[in-house]
């Protein structure tokens, strides 16, 4: 564990503070007592986010829309409008990418370019 970067966090395991490790990825939490990964961070979602899951729905679509947020996440298939409920943990395992988050990350760049392209 020498040479690894750790950052304090507010999570606890057995009433002991944990540390974030950059070695196991930015979303890993490492217990100082056990030295292993505790759990990955759960996805940050918003209503109407467009998600791509790892396996296709029987209708053939990989894309889903977030329709409910809470302990369970409600999803609607973009292909056939079938609705399912998944726990956040299960969604973390099945989700490949948040398409809406990618658009949000790209949006500030395009806004800055539009602001600076004005005429003199």
DSSP states of 59-101 as a string? TS--EEEEEE-SSEEEEEETTT--EEEEEHHHHHHHEEEEHHH
pLDDT in tens, the chain (120 residues): 455 555 555 554 455 555 544 444 444 444 455 555 545 567 789 999 999 999 999 999 999 999 999 989 999 999 999 999 999 999 999 999 999 988 888 876 555 555 555 555
State if pTM tops 0.85: no
């Amino acid at each position: 564990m020498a040479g690894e970067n750790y950052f304090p966090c507010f999570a606890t395991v057995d009433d002991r503070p944990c540390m974030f490790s950059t070695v196991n990825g930015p979303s890993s939490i490492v217990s100082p007592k056990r030295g292993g990964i505790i759990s990955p961070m759960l996805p940050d979602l918003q209503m109407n986010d467009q998600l791509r899951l790892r396996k296709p729905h029987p209708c053939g679509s990989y894309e889903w829309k977030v329709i409910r947020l809470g302990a369970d996440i409600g999803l609607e298939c973009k292909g056939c409008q079938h609705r399912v409920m998944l726990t956040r943990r299960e969604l973390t395992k099945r989700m490949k990418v948040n398409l809406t988050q990618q658009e949000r990350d790209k949006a500030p760049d395009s806004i800055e370019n539009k602001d600076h392209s004005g005429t003199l």
